[in-house]
A and B are shown apart, each in its own frame.
Chain A
Amino acid sequence: MNRILALLPWLLALALLAVLPQVLTVKYYLHLSILALIWVIVAQGQNLIQGFTGYVSIVQAGFMGIGAYGSTLMGLNFQWPLWATMIMAPLITALFALATGYPSLRVKGHYFAIVTLAFNLIIVIVLVNYSELTKGEAGISNIPKPWGGNREAFYYLALVLAASLTLLAALIARSRVGEILLAIRQNEDLVAALGIAAWKYKLFAFVISAMYAGLGGALYAHFQGFINPEIFGVAQSLDAILAVILGGSGTIAGPAIGAFLVVFLPELLRFADSFRLILYGLILVLATIFMPIGIVGIAKAAFARIIRREVRHGG
């Protein structure tokens, strides 16, 4: 009974998202919803390394860039079909993550954050300067879109992928691997003392999180039809971190909610025009000070309080 009850909000949310394209009259909101679903994938990846393992990585957008450019360039240069390049994108990203994760995971805390941030900067610099391949700052346009650019079809593709990858993240979190990742977050020395090679699990979390980003990047490229290096900069990596924090770090629903927030919040603040950046920053600061456990954390606490009251009154 309890398990079904716990699944209920998920099924409701999924049903709501499934009918969304039918009720949305403004095309632009459909566009934003697709972006939000792509960001759900990216944020779920970020949550694996940041939320569960406790390592704040600032290279998620860089990995998105590798997926986006990887898929686009393979299609452009080898004439591979779109589906093949989109499947290859996370695999290529995984190779990059292996190469960068191995050295950077040897350090912890702020060191790790800054090293990954440096990797993001390196990725952008190479994308800008290796213009024979990437067309530099101007970017690549006319990237092929599936179904001739049918938005509604793309929406359902993004929804299916976001939902299944959220499920996969939940399965990882509940597995033995997930337990070890949580243990690493709480006390890495203790994990090592138990004879568990923590680095393998950290690298696993980092590579999987990068694969999520790589797929998200490929989806982004084939949805927008245009990419340039700026899209995959540090600012977007910060958005991934924000999505996790605002939604609720180390929860499964948190990154999904946070992803919608980081896509829609700047749009809602559009009325503020040039003050938007200031407001966005202010919301972030206030949210961290006054609700550090995120929306999901607050909801859970409120729910627990109601249950307790029920129990007290009922029994």
Chain B
Amino acid sequence: MLIEILQQTINGLAIGGVYVLIALGLTTVFGILGIAHFAHGSISMFGGYLTYFLATSQGLPVLAAIPVALVAGILLGMLVEILAYRPVRNANHINAFIVALGLTMMVEGINLQLFGHEQVVIPTGLSRVFRLGGITVPELRLYVIVAAIVLVVAMMIFVERTKTGQAIRAVAENRDAAILMGVNVRTIPLIVFGMSTALGVAAGIMVGALFAIAPGIGEGLVVKGFAVLILGGLGSFPGAILGGTVLGITESIAAGFISSAYKDVIAFVVMILVLLIRPQGLLGRAP
């Protein structure tokens, strides 16, 4: 029993890492720009597909394909900000949400057009399995967990310690005051979208290596990402990290002990319960 719980916790940490990366991107965009960036999941999957494409048809080593996909993600995120979200910046927030829905359709359509209907798995060649007591840890899962931690730490350092990060936090705190202090509010959204999309692409690559990428996966992922935001509190970094980890582990344990078909239902029920008891999320500030 205990071994089984530990095993499912380890499994849950890998998928939790994916959720954390997706949620960090969503929470940054939401916290700073107030946009519920629904297309985030589909764009992340684009990055996963691109890595697969480079690593298979183009014969690039996976480790070389990943940085290319990350850079493509940064550029794509910036493009989306300029072309789609900037024009609705000053409109009602619902408009940005509708734009996000339209973008999701477009990106899903582009993914289908470029990469087809088949589900694909990024070939990593990492198939060793470590054994620790009664627990088995596939090498790939371990690397995914480590990579997720590295990315989260890197992002925290960027936001907390650099001048640009400071400017981003200033805009999140008080847009008008930030403008008065000389922060360029045109470049901040670009940086935020570039960074968020890079994190999303990293998550997309992880999904492609751990499970598979297929049409529709991105939408499921973005919903989970939003569930994490609700769990942790909208706009809160520590909340996204805690929420993602909790959701990953809960789902994994629910799948192992209750029912794998209903694991998503259980995840959403947890989210709704948290919302009822603490509407501001686990680590969110009271409104």
Indicate if B58 sits at the interface (CB-CB under 8 A).
no
Instruction: Point out the residue from A109, A118, A129, A289 that lies within 8 Å of B99, measured CB to CB.
Output: A289
Considering the complex, which residues of chain A in the window 72-112 have a beta carbon less than 8 Å from any beta carbon of chain B?
A: 103-104, 106-107, 109-111
- The reply to whether B105 and A277 form a contact with Cβ atoms under 8 Å apart is yes
- CB pair A278–B99 under 8 Å, yes or no, is no
**Interchain pairs with CB closer than 8 A, number:** 120
Q: A17 an interface residue at 8 Å Cβ cutoff?
A: no
Chain A window 278-309, contacts with chain B (Cβ cutoff 8 Å), 1 for yes, 0 for no: 11111111001100100000000000000000
Interface membership of A8, Cβ < 8 A:
no
Q: How far is the CA of A50 from the CA of B141 in the complex (A)?
A: 42
Majority SS of interface residues in chain A? Answer: helix
Which B residues contact A (CB, under 8 angstroms)?
30, 36, 84, 87-88, 91-95, 97-99, 101-110, 112-113, 219, 223, 226-227, 229-230, 234, 261-262, 264-265, 268-269, 271-272, 275-276, 279
Q: Are A274 and B88 in contact, with the CB atoms below 8 A?
A: no
Contact of A274 with B36 in the complex, beta carbons under 8 Å: no
Q: How far is the CB of A185 from chain B (nearest CB, A)?
A: 11
CB of B284, distance to nearest CB on chain A (Å): 10
- Look across to chain A and name the residue whose beta carbon is closest to the beta carbon of B220: A121
From known contacts A103-B276, A107-B275, infer whether A114 and B230 are also in contact, taking CB-CB under 8 Å. Answer: yes
Please tell me if A125 contacts chain B, counting CB pairs below 8 Å.
yes
Q: Say whether A113 faces chain B, with CB atoms less than 8 Å apart.
A: yes
A171 within 8 Å of B (CB atoms): no
Are B98 and A115 closer than 8 Å at their CB atoms?
Answer: no
| B268, A241: Cβ atoms closer than 8 Å | no
| Bound Cα distance A281, B97 (Å) | 13
When C-beta atoms are compared, the residue in chain A nearest to B271 turns out to be A118
Contact size range, A? 35 or more
Return chain A residues, CB-CB under 8 Å to B30: 110
- The B contact surface, by secondary structure, is helix
Given contacts A56-B97, A241-B98, A288-B88, is CB(A115)–CB(B275) below 8 Å? Answer: yes
Residues of A within 8 Å of B268, CB to CB, are 118-119, 121-122
Residues in B whose Cβ lies below 8 Å from that of A49:
none
Nearest-neighbor residue (CB-CB) of A285 within chain B? B102
Write the residues of chain A forming the contact surface with B, with a CB cutoff of 8 angstroms.
56, 103-104, 106-107, 109-111, 113-115, 117-119, 121-122, 125-126, 128-129, 234, 238, 241-242, 245, 274-285, 288-289, 292
B196 to chain A, nearest CB (A): 16
CB distance from B104 to the nearest CB of A (A): 7
* From B92, B230, B262, B265, contact of A115 by CB (8 A): B230
In whole angstroms, how far apart are the Cα atoms of A281 and B104 in the complex? 7
Query: How near does chain A come to B218, taking the closest CB pair, in angstroms?
Result: 12
Q: Are A129 and B261 in contact (CB under 8 A)?
A: yes
